[in-house]
Amino acid sequence: MGHIAPEAAKRMVTGGSVLGIKLDPSSAIQSCDSCEYAKATRKPIAKVKETPRAPAFGKIIHSDVWGPSPVQTPGKREYYITFVD
């Protein structure tokens, strides 16, 4: 969900929208590690496929296995496998 930006919170306090909070004018506004991580960028994903297409349904299949899960299913399973055609 997140939280309000520090500058916005400061404006609310100094503007009188929030009561009961005292600000120290000499303190610097801190940065939130989670917010900095969320603002990180990555290279854009290419819009064009560079690999050849499969000649027919079922000819090329990708799979992935995940596990062990920290919680077992009611059937005592703890791994998950996916297949993508």
69 vs 32 pLDDT, higher one: 69
Q: Quote the CA–CA distance of 36 and 33 in Å, as a whole number.
A: 5
69 vs 31 pLDDT, higher one: 69
Predicted TM-score (pTM) of this structure: 0.37
Question: What pLDDT, in 10s, does the model give residues 19-67?
Answer: 888 888 777 777 778 777 777 777 887 787 777 888 898 898 999 999 9
The 10 Å Cβ neighbour count of residue 25 is 6
Q: Are 72 and 78 in contact (CB under 8 A)?
A: yes
Nearest residue to 85 (alpha-carbon basis) of 57, 43, 64, 65: 57
